[in-house]
Amino acid sequence: MAEETLFTKIIKGEIPSSKVYADDLVTAFKDIAPKAQHHILIVPNKPIPTVSDAEPCDEALLGHLFTVARKIAEELGVARSGYRLIVNVGPDGCQEVPHIHMHFLAGGNLGMGGFPVKK
């Protein structure tokens, strides 16, 4: 059996994290090395390694990541002021953890392009 990903261990509570949201399909927790005032990872509970490994049957699940992002934005009060969603894919995309995840970044103007540099 394939080894569990770091994020699967976090989802199962085997590794501590600061969870902000969880349902049957998705778990969201604070990034351990935040690049913005609010930096949250939104992760499907199903351990799909990368977007390139996603299949048509994953479409609704991956769409749900956006719904959860919207809920988090509303809770943080940034739904209208704005935020950034990033999905890194594979080595050239600088994806470190091989378990699809959406970065949610918010807190002031994030500037143009890529990850903001935290002030």
Distance of CA 118 to the CA centre of its chain: 18
What residues between 14 and 73 interact with ligand AMP by CB under 6 A?
A: 15, 17, 31-33, 41
Residue 38: phi, psi to the nearest 5?
A: -115, 120
Residue-wise DSSP of 15-32? S---EEEE-SSEEEEE-S
Under rule CB under 6 A, residue 88 binds ligand AMP:
yes
Give the interface size with ligand AMP as a residue count (CB under 6 A).
12
Selected range binding ligand AMP among 20-28, 44-52, 58-66, 88-96, rule: CB under 6 A: 88-96
With beta carbons less than 8 A apart as the criterion, state whether 106 and 118 touch: no
Residues that bind ligand AMP (CB under 6 A): 6, 15, 17, 31-33, 41, 88, 94-97
